Amino acid sequence: MISRANLLKVLSAFLLCGAWEIAGRIPVSYAFPTFLDSMRAFFEMIGNGVMLAAYKETLRPLVIGIVISAVLGIGLGLWVGLNNFFDWLFSPIFIVMQAAPLAALIPLLVLAYGIGLTSKVLVVCIMAMPVIVLNTSGAVRNTPESFKEMGKSFLASRTSVLLRIVIPAASPVIFAGLRLGVSAGFIGAILAELKITPTGVGDIITYSRSIADYPSMYAAIFSIILLAVLFLNLLEKIETILFKGNQRGYVSD
């Protein structure tokens, strides 16, 4: 039987797609196609291989950037959260990075690293990493001291306290930071393709807009949202598997 959470997700998707279809038929704008027209363009691009070829270009910097951001972000977040000196030293840097308009840094990255893969990976990292670091450090710092003291009273080593108490207790906020970081990484990957070089899905968006093929443009945008949703749900499943005791659901479930 389908769970209440999944049912609500499906219902919200139907409401969104229905509102999109209605808005396209009114129409809100001549440049706003219906949901069905966009889906027709979406499956056409999948069928002729255009979408798959585009994602081969888009996924390279995206996956590399997200992996680097996740590994370094969680590592730095644990380090900052466990040490007051490093918290004082590094937290302001990531707070400024999160608050600053990072899109303005793209011309500087292009100037320093060119228009290749390195610049695009860096854009993904500077968008995703601050969120992951700050959420991880905050989660670790706010782990109840009573949990740590209990571990020490049972003669647990510092490593055991970290792996068996601190990280499981902080895992909901850490994974929330990962989900937010992944979302920011998707934005960074598309932003890099629109601002640096029009490749991959960004090229489809730019080219479709230039020839007024709006169904294809919205189909490309929809594909990004769909991939991001699937990736975020995968992270949620991984969290459920790794930290079963931290599952949260509805009372009726």
- 248/67: higher pLDDT: 67
- Evaluated on CA atoms 183, 189, 190, 191, the torsion sign reads positive
Residue 115 maps to a domain: yes
CA atoms of 216 and 221, how far apart (whole Å): 9
Residue 63 maps to a domain: yes
Nearest CA to 192 out of 3, 58, 89, 55 is that of 58
* Segment 143-156 mean pLDDT: 75
| pLDDT 10s digits, 83-94 | 888 888 888 888
Asked if residue 252 has pLDDT above 50, the reply is no
E strand or H helix that includes residue 201 = helix 200-210
Residue 139 maps to a domain: yes
CATH number for 110:
1.10.3720.10
Residue 194 maps to a domain: yes
CA atoms of 2 and 243, how far apart (whole Å): 22
Q: Indicate the number of domains in the chain.
A: 1
Residue 4's CB is within 10 A of a number of other CB atoms, namely 13
Residue 193 maps to a domain: yes
| pLDDT 10s digits, 214-233 | 999 999 999 988 888 888 88
Asked if residue 40 has pLDDT above 90, the reply is yes
Domain holding 182, by residue range, is: 35-83+105-244
* Segment 148-157 mean pLDDT: 75
* Segment 106-124 mean pLDDT: 83
* Segment 189-209 mean pLDDT: 85
Burial of 122 (0-12, 13-18, 19+ CB in 10 A): buried
Residue 240 maps to a domain: yes
The pLDDT of residue 250 is 38
- Three-state DSSP class for residue 25: helix
Cβ(135)–Cβ(77) below 8 Å: yes
Residue 100 maps to a domain: no
Q: Is the pTM of this model over 0.75?
A: yes
CA atoms of 138 and 146, how far apart (whole Å): 17
* Segment 194-208 mean pLDDT: 84
Residue 76 maps to a domain: yes
Residue 43's CB is within 10 A of a number of other CB atoms, namely 11
End-to-end Cα separation, the chain, in angstroms: 11
pLDDT category of residue 100 using cuts at 50, 70 and 90: confident
